[in-house]
Amino acid sequence: MAGAEVFLSKRVQEMVLNGEEPPAPYICRDGDSIQEVSAPLSPVPIIDLSLLSFSTPYAKQEEELQKLRSALSSWGCFQAIGHGIPTTFLDKIRRVTREYFEQPMDEKKKQAKGVEEVEGYGADPTPEEGNGNHMMHDAPIQELDLWLSNVNGSTDMLPSIVAIRIVTTTRKFANSIGRVLSNLLPETTWAGSRRTEKYSLDLQAIGHGIPMTFLDKIRQVTREYFEQPMDEKKKQAKGVEEFEGYGADPTPEEGQFLDWSDRLFLDVYPKDQRKPQFWPERPESFRGLIEEYSFKIKTVTEITSKAMAKSLKLEENCFLNQFGNRSQYQARFNYYAHCQRPDLVLGLKPHSDGTGYTIVLQDEEGLQVLKDEQWFTVPKISEAVLVLMGDQMEVIKLFCFII
């Protein structure tokens, strides 16, 4: 897989191990001009999904639905608890992810992606001279800034951070979203590479039925994956024109910089769309845990869709019907390695997600959201998953509130 070898010629983790400072393609800021500022912790709403079930007394259910409606109209994202996923399981996910990235490079190369591929293991490709790399999505709806939160110009080494994202989308709806957006938000303005706007869609969900122990498992297995030697991760390297696998942003564009991160990208649902060559065999618990976690998160998105509809006095399945039986679920594992010059780089560029939902399991604080032209740091809540409305749900939500 020649493309993958070119793509993996410069790994962020390898540069850190070699004591290298970020090369020019990763530098997006002037370290001397960085002021000592810290984004305030975000008052992102917390929603207990367990209170939205039919077994909950009517008054309590209505109260939580009103909180959800308020969150949708003001933030568009929430921290979900009461989701039914044990915290111990979430910790396992975090652990196995870290174990993956801590493997030797030869192991990770088994999942290596190519320069223009998304799926698989890897990072930003080495751009042509004068070029950087592209944002996650260009639609001007919601703005996320996921990066190492110490931006005060200090040269202290930052801790490695792992973030796991499950996104839901449907091709049919995504194909027409650009035309809708161009007419929906004419007042959206741009400020350099960061967009400023009125609307934001992010909430934290609790009561989602996912035990805290399970969430911890997810965090741990993700760490374990990224901490594997590079040769192990290259087994999942993605190809030049693929999204799935170990790697990073596929197509460099002029004037943009590279993310200071390594990542693994997998297609999860529908199952017949999976590419087994990108699913790591090590850590041994990785496949089983991610399979279980993906199913649980799929359930969380269904609960969220129904709750949103109820809060807006709509038919319960109206949002689910928009996605159909073949909606796509994709998992992305981001590993933000220590950096000797955190004042010069970003772990992930400001972007919007062209999805229905993005559900984030944080390992450490570092995620920031833009609301009312101010960046807020989203606090880590061990038992919570962060539910963000992507561009597709943003359009639907705005129509609902406008009408």
Number of domains the chain contains = 1
pLDDT at position 191? 26
Residue 141 located in a structural domain? yes
Domain annotation covers residue 39: no
35 falls within a domain: no
Burial pattern 380-400, b for ≥16 Cβ within 10 A else e, equals: bbebbbbbbbbbbbbbbbbeb
DSSP state for residue 288 in the 8-state scheme = H
- pLDDT the model gives residue 30: 67
pLDDT at 125: 56
Contact between 339 and 358 (Cβ < 8 Å): no
For residue 129, give Cα distances in angstroms to 168, 255, 334: 35, 10, 26
Res 167: pLDDT: 66
H or E element, residue 106: helix 105-108
- What's the rounded Cα separation, in Å, for the pair 47 and 378? 15
pLDDT of residue 232: 87
173 found inside a domain = yes
Q: What is the pLDDT of residue 152?
A: 31
Domain contains 61: yes
Question: Is 180 within the bounds of a domain?
Answer: yes
Angle formed at CA 135 by CA 393 and CA 128, multiple of 5 degrees:
155
The pLDDT of residue 401: 52
User: Running along the chain, 403 residues long, what does each successive block of 10 average in pLDDT?
Assistant: 42 81 79 53 86 88 92 84 92 91 88 78 57 32 31 34 61 36 28 29 63 86 85 81 69 68 89 92 93 92 89 86 83 86 83 82 84 84 87 67 49
Range of the domain at 231: 2-28+44-402
168: CATH: 2.60.120.330
* Inside any domain, residue 231: yes
